[in-house]
Structure 1
Amino acid sequence: MTMETSQVMPFEEIDRSAVAQVGGKNASLGEMVRHLGEQGVAIPPGFATTSDAYWQFVEHNDLRQPVIDALGSMKAGEATLPETGILLRRLFLQGDWPDETAQAIRDAYARLCKRIGRNDADVAVRSSATAEDLPDASFAGQQETFLNIRGDKALLDACRQCFASLFTDRAISYRETKNFDHLQVALSVGVQAMVRSDIGGSGVMFTIDPETGFDKVAVIDAAWGLGETVVQGTVEPDEYQVFKPLLAKDNLEPIIEKRRGGKELKMVYALDSVKSTRTVPTSRAEREAFVLTDAEILQLGRWACVIEKHYGCPMDIEWARDGETGELFIVQARPETVQSRKGAGEFLSYSLKNKGEKLVTGLSIGDAAVTGKVCILDSARDIGRFIDGAVLVTENTDPDWVPIMKRAAAIVTNHGGRTSHAAIISRELGLPAVVGTGNASAVLQEGQEVTVSCAEGDKGFVYDGFAEVVTDSIDPSALPQTRTKIMLNLANPAAALRWWRLPADGVGLARMEFVVGNHIKVHPMALVNYDRLEDTSAKREIDELTRGYEDKTDYFVDQLALGLARIAAALHPRPVIIRMSDFKTNEYANLIGGTQFEPHEENPMLGFRGASRYYSPRYREGFALECRAIKRLREKMGFTNVVVMIPFCRSTSEADKVLEVLADNGLRRGDNDLEVYVMCEVPSNVILAADFAERFDGFSIGSNDLTQLTLGVDRDSDELADLFNEQDKAVKWMISHVISAAHEAGTKVGLCGQGPSDHPEFAAFLVECGIDSISVTPDSFIRVKEKVFEAEKKHYRQSQ
């Protein structure tokens, strides 16, 4: 090996076995260039300096002993960490390049310029420590990166600064924590052709959900300009999620999340000679637009699958889009170091009691909830003010904050997304964090007692005061098998992916109206009739929510499909039963623009609800939007595990009308294996069970409404609470009868409700009746599973 090649290697000659020579980052780049280019993954060309080049620099400048002495003084308490870092960095920055090393770097740069056809080409100069990206250490942001570097002199200066960054305060502290020998770690520098993302976009992609560990999604963050703003957490990026199992089919578009971030800033090339980059505000058009098109999201998702398959483990990937050519590139990839180390065994479920006022909202990192006192810091230099176990509140974090973060109970930041520094380090430290709140440091007060909750889905909250934090230990692998299928009731798309490890048999009830009420917020008929809307304030709210949609109804369809897709993905390919909207008229009226389209009813519980709405001129066009969302979910996204369920269907003639309307909207029972279920919650459903079974593929017993209508008791009446009893003899007769009639007709039947969880004897009764499935809330899944197992064991033992 020549002196040049021993100190500089092109990416094409590197693979992942070269970590000792070029560090994890550069070894990974070489691995992808050598093996994944032929599979369509685009990686910008470049080269890496080797560990030999680093040690040559150290020996040429006689740095080894000064490093030993400085670190020894720090450990002996004779010098502080900041003093030690300043001294060591100065030694490296004052060092001279060995002639042969400098020439090897110049020659490699000249070849790169020739290859890409540009003199003094702009390059990215990235640090790659030879101990980084190991399974138990992410080294996230420990060393420096320099962008838009041009010319020999600037390149050599940037490489020297990378060497010096091996001894930043945060890097020294991190190696001390991880027990790495400082003089066993070398620094390789990766020099890579710049992607002109300064006039395009860039971001980070995980091949696993970094919050829940759900391994069937790729999560993509995106912002305008160079990617440092996303990594550093200085912007709230767009977030996209792609369902990986369906990406192999080119005709499908399984994007299950598209969330527009604030993206207030972007990093671009600097025009002066002093700095290579600068951060500037984005335009209003940029803030309101998505960075990526659907086609680009899908392409990145497919690359994520290729990269993950090649490495055989979940990956943390950086990508960039060239603003000149529109091309996408992968610029870094490393193993994901948090969720991938968690087993599928026992995990904790957190819930809150006695919550105080909700103070701030952001993105949740992790799934825990903690209490603590607020400590607001503007700078990592204020470490002396921090009290162990406090809730750290700040603008955003970078690697300098790690020594403080390790001592915190939770992290709350004004800025940043799921792939920001605060998010990555919080996960590694096992801390709950709420990032991108926008205003936490202004709203919260120093010393204030608060509860930080990441246990309520992908939104995190900070509540006033100390709530009661309840933890349940869950070990799914220890649960017994049951003949009766135990399914989940899910409504909140934000929380759906939390429960993927539960061995549930599917989703027995997904409430569409929750998605409409909490995520869409607008009455569908107000969108259909937007031009005739009389409420001007409602119009303004709709305009704000539907920005970017030329047709207002597309907003409803898109958002409903996306919300339901997350629920459909959570337990795919197991069945997910989605109940079409079942608001009462007073609830519909509370939606934005809703009062104009809803009649006033004295008893909405027994009024214009469920099936009767779907074929009515009052709502038929709104129901068509619901159908469009389901059709998109099944046919465009590919979630054919979705089952449609019709609520509150009073008669067989009404059933026929609803099935006809479904077919008119492209949802014909049996086509593309579509199943249509009906809720059994009206006595007529029981009395005419055989007739309903001819029209539907399954029944789901809604025990609350069935009890209400069987006993004539308003389920919401305080005065009659003692009379409302799901285990009343008459109600149990109804349930037993419909199960028997359904089975005689060859139709499946389940029950969705809390009864089996709260009352073991009710679970035993359902087992004795031979019910096919029971659907419960996730927090009661384990209790119900165990109760049903005991009931089955007893019942089948007695029947033998």
Structure 2
Amino acid sequence: MIATGLVRQIGDLSARDLAVAGGKGANLGELMRAGFPVPDGFVITTEAFRVAARAADVDAADAKSAPQRMRSVAVPRDVADAIRDGYRARGGGRVAVRSSATAEDLPEASFAGQQDTILNVEGDEALLDAVRECWASLWTERAVAYRASHDIDPRDLALAVVVQRMVDARAAGVLFTADPVTGRRRRASIDAVSGLADKLVSGAANPEHYVVDTPSLAISDRGGTLLDDRRLRQLAQLGDQVEAHFGKPQDIEWAIDDSKLWLVQSRDITTLYPLPAGLPDPDKDLRVMLSANVAQGVFQPFTPMGLQTFRLLGAGFAKHFASRPPADM
């Protein structure tokens, strides 16, 4: 019997379960419930993390001692039993173990790659060790620095762990449903590597790059032969469906085994410049959007006082130059 407070099936979760399953787990549950192809698995909840952190006497604000304590103290018995039950209920075998923090995959901060993912884990004890590593990765140097830059208090965080059946990937990679460089919407940008996507995420392999125009499914850029036209169009269509479900452009991790395309993660793209409402169809009337404050090195939104100041300055410049007579030719 699975202890539901400590372990939840992915298919029982939804986007509303961020506090229980973290960003990755909640999004995977949402995808599975919506009928998208997501490998089966379960989530070790944030409650299990809190039980383990209390048992290890972890101070979340102490980034030096916290990971050491999480690794060195045995997983509490009730938590370990729930994890073993969840693993055995799915027949054991090889699994992917992925961190899922409560501040991860948020609209304003993705935390992509900040916590650990451990692949090809097999056996009860190996799984428990991998879970401890994921818990400890909440305090990696990168994660701590990223939280500090976004003013996120570590004491407000918890970390769930996603355990999924391992996909024997022939190819894997990342799909952006909007161009992450130009910001062009409905332009599928696909990076692919042979085998598992960890080579791509770590930078150990150079990916093949493809671009698909989503409305027409025309392939405008082909950077290799790993994916044929049918797979590229399938990826673009599936990405478009995921974007429509979440209502925002998505950063999707995918994997293809011998017969099927799987989605193993989806998050909002947090680096796109927001578009104003009412823009025309870019295929009929393409617009170029510029951000003056970013060009000036101001990366936060203007305050009302700042906005009024720039309006007054702009009006003054316009009045000055508009009132000057044209130079004699």
| Shift in CA distance, 333/90, structure 1 to aligned 2, threshold 3 Å | same
Offset at residue 232 of structure 1 (A): 2.1
- Percent identity over the alignment? 40
Residue from 130, 134, 150 that aligns with 2:102: 130
CA distance in structure 2 between the partners assigned to 1:259 and 1:180 by the alignment:
39
Aligned equivalent of 1:8: 7
* Larger of the two Rg values belongs to structure: 1
1:59 maps to amino acid = R
Q: Answer yes or no: is the 8 Å Cα contact 1:126–1:191 preserved in 2.
A: yes
Aligned equivalent of 2:261: 328
Q: Is the partner of 1:318 in helix, strand or coil? A: strand
Residue from 233, 240, 248 that aligns with 2:203: 233
Residue from 120, 139, 144 that aligns with 1:172: 144
| Shift in CA distance, 340/31, structure 1 to aligned 2, threshold 3 Å | farther
Q: Answer yes or no: is the 8 Å Cα contact 1:314–1:340 preserved in 2.
A: no
2:37 maps to amino acid = A
| Shift in CA distance, 144/205, structure 1 to aligned 2, threshold 3 Å | same
Indicate whether 1:306 and 2:241 are aligned: yes
Aligned equivalent of 1:218: 188
2:267 maps to amino acid = R
Indicate whether 1:190 and 2:162 are aligned: yes
Aligned equivalent of 1:338: 271
Offset at residue 3 of structure 1 (A): 7.8
Aligned equivalent of 2:117: 145
2:264 maps to amino acid = V
CA distance in structure 2 between the partners assigned to 1:166 and 1:61 by the alignment:
15
Offset at residue 340 of structure 1 (A): 5.2
Aligned equivalent of 2:17: 18
Offset at residue 216 of structure 1 (A): 2.2
Q: Which runs of 5+ in 2 are unaligned?
A: 280-287, 301-329
| Shift in CA distance, 342/127, structure 1 to aligned 2, threshold 3 Å | farther
RMSD: 2.3
Encode CA deviations 1:690-719: one digit per residue, 9 max, x unaligned: xxxxxxxxxxxxxxxxxxxxxxxxxxxxxx
Q: Is the partner of 1:207 in helix, strand or coil? A: strand
Q: TM-score, normalised by structure 2?
A: 0.82
More helix by share: 1
Aligned equivalent of 1:439: none
Indicate whether 1:259 and 2:215 are aligned: no
Aligned equivalent of 1:155: 127
CA distance in structure 2 between the partners assigned to 1:216 and 1:176 by the alignment:
33
Offset at residue 175 of structure 1 (A): 1.1
**Structure 2 counterparts to residues 753-764 of structure 1, below 5 A:** none
Aligned equivalent of 1:30: 29
Aligned equivalent of 2:290: 347
1:166 maps to amino acid = L
Q: Which runs of 5+ in 1 are unaligned?
A: 72-83, 114-119, 248-253, 261-289, 350-367, 369-408, 410-427, 430-800
Aligned equivalent of 2:283: none
**Structure 2 counterparts to residues 668-747 of structure 1, below 5 A:** none
Offset at residue 342 of structure 1 (A): 5.7
Encode CA deviations 1:188-246: one digit per residue, 9 max, x unaligned: 0000111111xx11000000000111102111100111101112222221111111112
Offset at residue 341 of structure 1 (A): 3.7
Q: Answer yes or no: is the 8 Å Cα contact 1:51–1:188 preserved in 2.
A: yes
Aligned equivalent of 2:44: 49
CA distance in structure 2 between the partners assigned to 1:310 and 1:62 by the alignment:
41
Indicate whether 1:294 and 2:294 are aligned: no
Indicate whether 1:109 and 2:69 are aligned: no
CA distance in structure 1 between the partners assigned to 2:214 and 2:162 by the alignment:
30
Q: Answer yes or no: is the 8 Å Cα contact 2:14–2:29 preserved in 1.
A: yes
Q: Which runs of 4+ in 1 moved over 3 A?
A: 340-346
Q: Answer yes or no: is the 8 Å Cα contact 1:129–1:185 preserved in 2.
A: yes
1:54 maps to amino acid = F
Q: Is the partner of 2:30 in helix, strand or coil? A: helix
CA distance in structure 2 between the partners assigned to 1:25 and 1:132 by the alignment:
7
Aligned equivalent of 2:177: 207
Encode CA deviations 1:318-348: one digit per residue, 9 max, x unaligned: 00011xx332111110111011546578516
Task: Give the paired residue count.
Answer: 287
Q: TM-score, normalised by structure 1?
A: 0.35
Encode CA deviations 1:356-412: one digit per residue, 9 max, x unaligned: xxxxxxxxxxxx9xxxxxxxxxxxxxxxxxxxxxxxxxxxxxxxxxxxxxxxx9xxx
Offset at residue 109 of structure 1 (A): 0.6
Offset at residue 88 of structure 1 (A): 2.3
CA distance in structure 1 between the partners assigned to 2:275 and 2:247 by the alignment:
16
CA distance in structure 2 between the partners assigned to 1:215 and 1:42 by the alignment:
24
Q: Is the partner of 2:161 in helix, strand or coil? A: strand
